Amino acid sequence: MQQLKGLSTEEITQTLLSIKKVTMDDLKALPLSIGIVTQDQRINRQELVDRSVKLGFANARGYDLLRSGK
């Protein structure tokens, strides 16, 4: 998560979709750790990436911008 925070949402998406860089187990751990999915949900790689990027990064960045008044 920390390694991804400095990247743009496009770069995060590309990194998470890369099978060579991110295993499926690691990819499942990311949304689990931030409460986006539950352990028993069966979701494919693309859906996990979409949810992680949109809910875990893009929305959080948007809320941070709104709070800071920019």
Domain boundaries, the chain: 2-68
Tokens, residue 2:
């920390």
Do residues 27 and 41 make contact, with C-beta atoms less than 8 angstroms apart? Answer: no
Looking at residue 51, its pLDDT comes to: 85
pLDDT higher than threshold 70 for residue 59: yes
pLDDT higher than threshold 70 for residue 57: yes
Q: In whole angstroms, what is the distance from residue 24 CA to residue 12 CA?
A: 15
The CA dihedral of 45, 21, 7, 5, to the nearest 10 degrees, is 80
